[in-house]
Structure 1
Amino acid sequence: MGKASTGPTPGYLVWRLANKWRVAVDRALAPLGLTHAQYALVASLHGMQRGGERPSQRRLADHTGLEALYVSKLARALDSAGLIERTRDPRDPRAVQLALTEEGQTVTRQAIVVVQELLGQLLEPLGGLDTPRTRAFTDELTALLDVPLAPSPPHHERTRRATP
């Protein structure tokens, strides 16, 4: 057996950092009426629209890494708030396409500025947004995110292995 680590594990630190970031973004965006998850959707949609794309909810879910059902729930709330519009895809009646409204574009641009300022504060210990340490940190995070998750074994195999 290897030696037990005395400090926090990398997984714990990533979890803590993700939670710290989520809380900070939620607080910073509250005056704009957005949550962190809603921001992830509208900011991604903003970038995709700038690239000429009108994505489906499924495509946006894949892009953000959020579950499709959660994206659907968020999209309904953002539609009700007048920030996005949801329309049926003429090529696939089962698919729903998303686009920012004019108000949604305005709020999203404001939110992007707020989040960029927040990111600058968070990355200050690494020297700021555009430094070699921050680029190296980003590369490390990207490497970790690029590793695919192994599929979970079926439930009956997990319980069979757990019992001797």
Structure 2
Amino acid sequence: MSTPGHLVWRLSMKWRVAVDRALAPAGLTHAQYVFLASLLDLQRDHPPSQRELADHTGLEALYVSKLARTLDADGMVERTRDPADTRTIRLTLTDRGREVVEPAIATVGTLLDRLLAPLGGRRADRTAALTRELTLLLDTPLEGA
């Protein structure tokens, strides 16, 4: 019998592979998609820092920095120094980045619909319960365990 940890691992790998395959025609990896889609969401309030984006996505700060440089070179992201703290780099999605990520969000949404269909779809009570349980697990610290 599989453990919950093993099942979480398998589901996360299944999801990552499916997103990578679905977004390959757009030239995006799963990590680049998470970066760009999260940036689109976060920048509604203000241009987030690389650290804020890392915290939001769960990606390592060093990896976010590497992705930011790559996506900046590809013209999808603009990186600027924060005038109040020049150590902080703020991120903004460019028009090109928006043109790439918006259809990618729709593609991933279709995948999500397929994934959640056995639970009744995105708005189903079972999906809401799963979301609450996963959030609880994600909020549980493992450091020092």
Shift of 1:151: 3.2
Q: What is the aligned counterpart of 1:31 among 25, 49, 57?
A: 25
Shift of 1:149: 2.1
For the pair shown, which has the larger CA radius of gyration, 1 or 2?
Answer: 1
Q: What is the aligned counterpart of 2:112 among 119, 124, 135?
A: 119
Shift of 1:108: 1.2
Could you tell me how far apart the structure 2 residues matched to 1:90 and 1:151 are?
Answer: 37
SS in structure 2 of the partner of residue 25 of structure 1: helix
Read off the aligned partner of 2:59 and give its amino acid letter.
Answer: L
SS in structure 1 of the partner of residue 91 of structure 2: strand
Shift of 1:29: 0.8
Shift of 1:128: 1.3
Could you tell me how far apart the structure 2 residues matched to 1:151 and 1:115 are?
Answer: 35
Alignment map for 1:1-40 (pairs within 5 Å): 7-40=1-34
SS in structure 2 of the partner of residue 123 of structure 1: helix
Read off the aligned partner of 1:58 and give its amino acid letter.
Answer: R
Alignment map for 1:1-164 (pairs within 5 Å): 7-50=1-44, 52-151=45-144
Could you tell me how far apart the structure 2 residues matched to 1:68 and 1:49 are?
Answer: 18
Could you tell me how far apart the structure 1 residues matched to 2:116 and 2:136 are?
Answer: 19
Could you tell me how far apart the structure 1 residues matched to 2:131 and 2:32 are?
Answer: 23
Deviations 1:85-127 (A, max 9, x none): 1111111111111100001112111111111110000111111
Could you tell me how far apart the structure 1 residues matched to 2:63 and 2:105 are?
Answer: 22
Shift of 1:81: 1.1
Task: Tell me the TM-score normalised to structure 1 length.
Answer: 0.85
Read off the aligned partner of 2:60 and give its amino acid letter.
Answer: E
Could you tell me how far apart the structure 1 residues matched to 2:82 and 2:3 are?
Answer: 45
Supply the RMSD in Å over aligned alpha carbons. Answer: 1.0
SS in structure 1 of the partner of residue 90 of structure 2: strand
Shifted more, 81-90 versus 9-18: the winner is 81-90
Corresponding pairs, count: 145
